[in-house]
Chains A and B, each alone.
Chain A
Amino acid sequence: MNAPTHLSRRGLLKAGGFIALGFSLAGPEVFAQQAGNPALLGDLRQFPRISSWLRINADKSVTLLVGKVELGQGILTAVVQLCADELDVDIRRISVLSGDTALVPNEGTTAGSFSMPNCGTAVRQVSAEARALLVGLAAQKLGVDAGVLRVADGAVIAPDGRSTSYWDLVTGKELEVEATGKAPMKVAGERRYIGRDVPRLDIPAKVVGAPIYVQDHRPAGMVHGRVVRPPSARARLASLDTAAVEAMPGVIKVVRDGSFIGVVAKREEQALAAASKLSQAAKWDVKGGGPTSETIYDWLQTAPAKDIPIKDQKRTDAKPVAASLERVYRRPYQMHGSIGPSAAVATFAADGGSVAIQTHSQSVFETSEAIRKMLGLAEGKVRCQHMQGSGCYGHNGADDVAADAALLARAVPGTPVRVQWSRRDEHRYEPYGSAMVMKAKADLDADGNVLDWTFDLWSSSHGVRPSGNPGNLLAAHYLEKPFAQPTPVNGGGPNYAADRNAIALYEFPGHKVTTHFVAEMPVRSSSTRGLGAYANIFAIESFIDELAAMAKADPVEYRLRFLKDARARDVVTKAAERFGWATWQRKEGHGRGFAFARYKNLAAYTAIAMEVRVDRSTGEIRVLRAVAANDSGEIVSPDGVANQIEGGLIQSLSWTLKEGVRFDAEGAVSSGDWESYPILTFEEVPAIEVVHVNRPGAPFLGTGEASQGPAGAALANAVADACGARLRDLPFTPARVMAGLKA
C-alpha cells in the first residue's frame, strides 16, 4: 500500500464516485455539530468537526470527505490539491469520498459555482487545522516545541532528526475535535500544488474505459428498467392493456402507478423492446391550449407575474435627456443536452423498507429526501450515493431518473434496477433553461452617455430542484396519488435566479431593474448553467454595444466609461489587449465583438473578445477566434479554470447560434434528438485563448458559469459589426441573419 502509483490509482477510482467502505458508521455523525464559529470558512462553519472532512488512515493514506460532487469540472482534483498543500502530504496519498448521504458533510447542491468558495475553502482550512493539531501531538510526543517541527509528506520531523508521522499519531479519535479557525494557512511560496496544474485524477480512468460513471455501474444480478413517458408532459393515461407486453421475452414486471408506466426486464434490449411496445399500447389524454415555442414570448409578458423591483436608483442630477433607446431581446427554452442520458441504479431492500440509489444527482441529500417522501418510507431509508454522470450543467434529468429507478425497483425488491433515459426522453423531459424576454431602455445625454438605465425581464422558473419535495420529481406528477409541482419562487439576492446578472455592473446615474417572475411553467424549466445570467448578460451587453454605436464610441472605451470596479476594468483591458483590439484590421465580411460580466456580480470576472465572419449570401456565421480574460481570485488550477472558461464559451456559442426547444400548444416537444436540436460541432468551434488574471491570496471565485453570458453577447456584437444585422432573438440561425440583413 505504499507504492505511490497504486495509491493514485485507487484515488482516482474513488474520486469517480462512491465506494463501498470497509468501515461502518452508526449514523451520519456529520449532522450533530455546533455550527457557527465565525473564524471558520465556507462549509466548515456548518460542519466544524475535523473528522467530518478528513481521515488519516493506518495504510498511510488520507481520505477526504466532501459533500460537493464531481460534475466534470475538476472539483475533486482541486480539493485534493488544497488538502495536499495544507496538510503537507504527497497528493497521491489522498483519495476523495464525495456525495454519499450516509458519510459526508451535507454541503447541499453542487451548483452555482459555489464549490470552490464553499467546499474548497473549507477543505483548505480543515486541512490546515488538521496539520496544526497533528504537529501539536507530535510536539508532545517528541518533547519539543511545535514551532521547530517541520512536516514532509506526513512525517513530522524535529531539528535533531527524530521524527514521527501522521499515521503514528492518529490511532483513534484524535481528529474528532472541532476546528478552531486559528491554524495558519500557507502563503504562496510554501505551496507545492495550489496554483499549479495537477493532472485531473479522473481522466485516466475515462480514457481507458474504467467504470467511473453511474452509467457504467452494473452490480451483480442487475436488471433493466425503462419508463414510458407521455407524448407531452400534461397528458395523462387514458387506457393501457399490458398483457402483450407482459408476455414478451425477458419481461419481469410491467409497472403501472396511475399514469406512471414502465417495464423491468432481464436484458437491456428486452427492456427497450418492451418499453416501445408499452408505448404503442398506451392511450393518452392530451391537453392543449398552452403557448407554443413561437407564442411563448407574448405569453410570458401577459401571464400573471410577480413584479419584483431589484434595483431602483434614482438619478439626482438634472441633466437634460438628448436621446433615448429601447430594445427587446428574447431567449427560447434551451437544453442541458448531456451526451449521456440520465441514469440511476436503485436497489430496494428485500423487506421493501429502504432503498439505495447510485445517482449523478447534484443534490444527493435533498433528492434522497424527496424520493423518500414520494415512496412514503421512514426517515433515513433512502440512501443516495453520487457517481459521476455525463456532463452536468445544472438541474438535468439526474434526480428524475433516480426517482424512476426507485419506483421500478420497488416492484422487484432485492434486485438492482438500472434505468437510463432514451435520448428522446432526455431531450423532451429534462427541465430546460427558461425562455426569457428582456427589455432595456436608456436615456442619454448629448455625448451619448447613459443617464437613466431601465431593465425589465420576464421569465418563468430557474429553480425547481428536488429540495426535499416529491412534487419536484417528474415521475411523482403521474402517480395514482400524485404530488403536485410546488409553485416555484424566484431566488433572491445576492445570487438571484431569473434576474441573475440583471443588474449591470456599470455605474449609471439612474438605474432601475424589475423582474417579472411568472410562476406557471408551460414547459418545465429549472437551473441551467448560469440561470438567467446568460440571457440577461446577452441583453445588457448587446444593448451597451448598441448605445456605443449610437454614441459613435469604441465599444471597449464606452464600457470603461461606466465601469468603476478595478478588477472589472482589468479583465476588459486584458481581453482587448490580447485580442489586438486597438490594431485590428477589418477584412471583408469579418467583425469583432466584445462583452464583459462579473458572474452573479460576485463571482469570476470575465471579458471576451471575438472575431466572426458572416456570409451575406447564406446568413451563416463562422466564429473564428475568441479571447477570454478571466479573474477567479486566487487560482488553484490554471488549466482547470481554462477548461471551464473554454467549455462554457463553446457551449454558449452553441446556444447562441443554434439552440431553441420547439413545442406545440399541448406542450409536446418536437426537439427530440440531435437532428431536430443540433449543437455546435468540431468544425464550428473557434480557437480560444484564455488569459488568466491571478490574484494570490484573494478568495476563490466560482468560474463554472462565468463565460456563458459574455460569449453570447460578444457573438451578437461581432455579428452586428460584421454585417450590420443586430440580432436580438436567440438563436442566430442563418434565417435570422438573412432577415436581419434585410431589416
Chain B
Amino acid sequence: MDPAIRLADISKTFFRDNDRKNGDEPEGIPVLKSVTLDIARGEFVSLQGTSGSGKSTLLHIIGLLDRPTSGAYHLLGDDTAALDDDHLSDLRNKNLGFVFQSFYLIPYATALENVVLPGLYSRRPQAELTARARTLLEQVGLADRMHFKPARLSGGQQQRVAMARAMLNNPDIILADEPTGQLDSTTSGEIIKLFRQVHESGTTIVLVTHDEHVAAQAQRIVRIHDGRVVEDKPTGA
C-alpha cells in the first residue's frame, strides 16, 4: 500500500516580493533543503526542531496549504503537483484534518457550529453532520458545552473543539502545529491523550512540537534542523 505521505527531495525557498520588483536577481531564503520522508498509514509522528528550523513550513506543504519549490509530494498515492486548487481543497476537506496552536475557532459561532464547519464543504446532509458533531463533542468531553461560543470556553476546551472539528470528515491524516503551545502542562496532557485515542482508531498523525514530553508520546520523532531532516528515530512508545 502507498504510504500516507511520501516526500521526495522537497525544497522550499521563499522569495521576498521586493527583490522581484526591483528587477534584482531574486535572492531567495531556502527554508527546506531536500527533505525526503515517508510516513506510513496509521503512524503517529512528531516533528521536532528549534524555532525557525522549518517545521511549520513542512507541515503546510504536507497539508496542501503551500506548494514546494521543487521535489515530489505524493499524498495517499496521488501526485499533488498534478492537482488544481479545487482538487487540493477537496483533499484537505476529505482526507486531512488540521489542529492549530491558536485554535482558530470562529468567534461568533457555537462549539457545535464550529465542529460542523468542514462538513459544509462536503455536501453531506445537515442532519448527519450535526449528529456526527454531537458525537465527537461528547467524545472530547464537551457534551454540556455544545452551544457555547469560543469566548466562554477555556483554552483546553477550545482545542478540544478544534480536534472534534478536525475529525468531522473522518480524515486519514491529522496535522497539528504546536497544538499544546498555548496550554498548561495538565491541559496539554489531556489533549495529547486525545491525540493518542484518535491514533488508536487508525488515523495517521503528524504533530509539530517543541515539547519533549509531548514528542515522546509519538511512535517516531523526526528532528529538523535548518531545513533538513537530521534525525529520524522510533520512540518505542
Is this pair of chains taken from one and the same complex? Answer: no
